[in-house]
Every structure is written in structure tokens, then in C-alpha cells.
Structure 1
Amino acid sequence: MGTDLYRDGLARLEAGDGNEAKRLLEAALHEAPGDAGVMHALSRALDLAGERARAVELLELVHAKAPSEPGPACDLAIALLEKGEDARAAQVLGPVLEAHPDHPRANLDLALALAKTEPDRSRLHAQRAGRSSNADEREQAAALERVLSGQAP
């Protein structure tokens, strides 16, 4: 893979420069067609550059290629949740949680996907997400648990 292109693309992505990240990551993908890591990074750059539909299409491809990889699956699940496709989001997260049952973000995203239809299962996944080392994930999990228990957020 074009490691320098990939690394530079990630740096531009972290700096918030979606267009330059997209350019670099597209070049890296050209050098390493089908590389799931490059495809995932490119999907994030496309999203940042305002190309949401193309980003989601790429996430679908990455997920099909590596269904138990947490990053792409979680990003795809959130995109599906935003479109109201909660059941599909839950389905996408299944292989991730089979492979990584304690993955905080996957548990949080699954809790969100199940909140309307399966509140008890949702609460279980929110509790798992509440053990995250990431403060934002812990806060989101706690807020979801409060909503699920009928308390004010």
C-alpha cells in the first residue's frame, strides 16, 4: 500500500481537511485496491468532504469485506441509524460483537439501534458501553440508560 499516502491522508483527515484527505486516500486506494483500512479512512474523508452517499457506499463495501472490523461497522451503523434503519444497523453490528463482545462503541451503537424495539437488550449493551475508557462513550451510555429507565436525560 502507499503507506505515505495513507499516513498523510490520515493526518489531513485528523486536521479536518476532508478534500486533501480524500485526494491522498484515493491515491492510496489506487495503489492498494481493496485495502479495507484505506477504504474506511477514505469513507471518513468523503463524509468530511460532504460526500455522504459515496461514504456510505464505501462503508458497505468495507463491511462486506471485513464484517467483524469495529470501525467501519460502527460508522455504517450510525449512518443507517440516521436514516432510521435501526434493524439493519443492529444486523451490521452482530459480527463485530461476536468477535469483540466488549467493544464499547459497538455496544453503544447496538444499544441505540435496539432502544425503540428492545429496551431491555438495549440497556444491557448500554451498560457494557458504560465501561468504556472513552468519557464521551460513557456519557452517551449513561444518558441512554436514563432514557431507557424513564428518567429525564
Structure 2
Amino acid sequence: MGADLYRDGVARLEAGDGREATRLLEAALREAPGDVKVMHALSRALDAAGERERSVQLLELVHAKAPSEPEPACELAMALLERTEDTRAAEVLAPVLAAQPDHPGANLCMAMALAKTDPERAKAHLKPASRSADADQRAQAAALERVLSGQSPG
């Protein structure tokens, strides 16, 4: 039953129904307490449903349980960057990059976290991000590279 609730919740999330996704994923989590995959999906559903603070709290729990998982760590890092908690964002990303040094998304997030305080290290993290299969990540890496090089982000 829990797997069905998870699948249905993710399907509702992908269909853009954050409220129903949240309901289903909360039920899935009750059946599988502490399941990192369910917790991560629920955090995404909560965010989609406009419950950003609860989403970030859940991402913190996911990160504590699975610190080297790239997606939840990147999502948590981005939430921290929104709050200008750049140092904490870099700390969240460190275990991911220790486990997967070439992960494009984690490198892009780390570059963002370091951009203000250590632009040279930030640039080094842009290299793997620029090789991402995701066109948006490549574009973001190129834009940040231009900013760090003192060019127009344009």
C-alpha cells in the first residue's frame, strides 16, 4: 500500500496537484516512517503546495539521514541560498561532492554558494556543471561564469 501511495503522490505532484500529492505522500510516510525517498517527494509536494517552511524542514531531515543524496541536498542548498545562508549551503553540498565530485547539479549549487566569498573556487565548480545533460544547468553555469568573470550576465 505504501508504495502505491508513493507512486500516486508522485504522479499527482508531476500533474501539478501539490495538495493531493501532499495528502498521499503524508499517508505514504505514515506507512514508511523515515523513508528518505518518500520524505524527499513530500518535501517537493509541500513546496508545490505553498508550504515552503515545512518543505525545508523536511529537506533538513532528509539531508541528515542521507547527506550524500544529490537532489535533496541541492534543493536544501537552494533554499539556504535564498535565505543568504551561503556557508551552510556549501556545508550541505560537501558530502554530495565528496561522494560524486562530478555531479553537475551539485557543482552548480556549490558554485552559487561560493560565488560571493570564493569566486575562484566557484569557477572550478562550474566546469562539471557546464557538462550537464540538463540545458538549464548548462545555461546557469555559463551565466554565472560570465558574472564571475566580470562580464554582463546577458
TM-score normalised per structure 1: 0.98
Q: Unaligned stretches of 5+ in structure 2?
A: none
1:43 has 2:29 as partner: no
Task: Please state how far the C-alpha of 1:144 moved relative to its aligned partner.
Answer: 0.3
The one-letter amino acid paired with 1:7 is R
Hey, what does 2:71 align to over in structure 1? 71
Please state how far the C-alpha of 1:127 moved relative to its aligned partner. Answer: 1.6
| Deviation for aligned residue 1:78 | 0.3
Q: Is 1:140 paired with 2:140?
A: yes
**Amino acid of the residue matched to residue 63 of structure 2?**
H
Q: Which amino acid aligns with 1:19?
A: R
> 1:14-62 CA distances to partner (integer Å, 9 max, x unpaired)?
1111000000000100110000000000000001111111101100000
Does 2:96 align with 1:91?
Answer: no
Query: For structure 1, which runs of at least 5 residues remain unmatched after alignment?
Result: none
| Structure 1 runs of 4+ with >4 Å offset | none
Letter matched to residue 53 of structure 1 = E
Q: Which letter maps to 1:56?
A: V
1:58 matched residue in structure 2: 58
In structure 1, the residue matched to 2:124 is 124
One-letter amino acid matched to 1:139: A
Structure 1 counterpart of 2:31, which letter?
Answer: E
Query: Matched residue pairs, number?
Result: 153
Amino acid in the other structure paired with 1:83:
R
- State the AA in 2 paired with 1:55: S
Q: In 1, distance between residues paired with 2:66 and 2:14?
A: 23
Counterpart amino acid of residue 17 in structure 2: D
Give the SS at the match of 1:34: coil
Distance (whole Å) between structure 2 residues aligned to residue 40 and residue 83 of structure 1: 20
- String of CA shifts for 1:89-111, please: whole Å, max 9, x gaps: 00000000000111110000000
Is the 1:127–1:145 Cα contact (8 Å) retained in structure 2?
no
CA positional deviation for 1:126: 1.1
RMSD: 0.7
Normalising by structure 2, what TM-score? Answer: 0.98
Give the distance between the partners of 1:128 and 1:71, measured in 2 at CA.
16
Q: Which whole-Å CA distance do the structure 1 matches of 2:105 and 2:21 have between them?
A: 24
Deviations 1:103-142 (A, max 9, x none): 1100000000000000000001012100000000000000
Equivalent residue, structure 2, for 1:105: 105
